[in-house]
Structure 1
């Protein structure tokens, strides 16, 4: 069974880092540079299991993306994980209340991402080196 991750971050470097981590866990990956690009990708009908979402992006931020996805019944089964520099407790609570399942603060280690995915039941392989 193929699992698919959508990585949403305006930093190409960050998308590359996250792609490497989840690809080694067996995910196919689609990338988007902001929330609007991600919504456009979802509208094409791709079947996404996991979204890794930055908060601060142009056009549509990660929080808005989460609220838009959670408002759409066909996307409610997707797992949403914020991966962001936003470390204020209020922001974390806000994202989780909006429908994000987990929250990882940048900078992070590959092990931190894998650990969160394991908690969500979405990682079954070894941590990438």
Structure 2
């Protein structure tokens, strides 16, 4: 988001980002450190770990011939075991922490959707879906 890239006119630091992080830190100060750590871990499980498992599975199914730097032995068993483990950890956390994690995920999806719609990028671009290509890194 461009607003977070705005720099302080004379000092050159990202002022808006710093203010937002400061406000979030102040809000986090009103709950226990354990709750903050649990909430951050839960959010990371949802967004990064479970998201990566889904993305790897989608990529392997949609672009099976793409060159890959390594092979996953016994695919998809390791992905399923990891998914079950992350779901177990997520499900055994306190409900308030789960609600925070889900709320952060929903907020992220909404922000991504608004950003994509405004910039006319995927999934709101004008190209034909058949034109999409995957660029290997």
* TM-score normalised according to structure 2 size: 0.22
Q: Kindly indicate which of the two structures has a greater share of residues assigned to helix.
A: 2
Q: Kindly indicate which of the two structures has a greater share of residues assigned to strand.
A: 1
Q: Relative contact order: is structure 1 or structure 2 higher (C-alpha 8 Å, sep ≥ 6)?
A: 2
**Structure number, greater radius of gyration:** 2
* TM-score normalised according to structure 1 size: 0.23
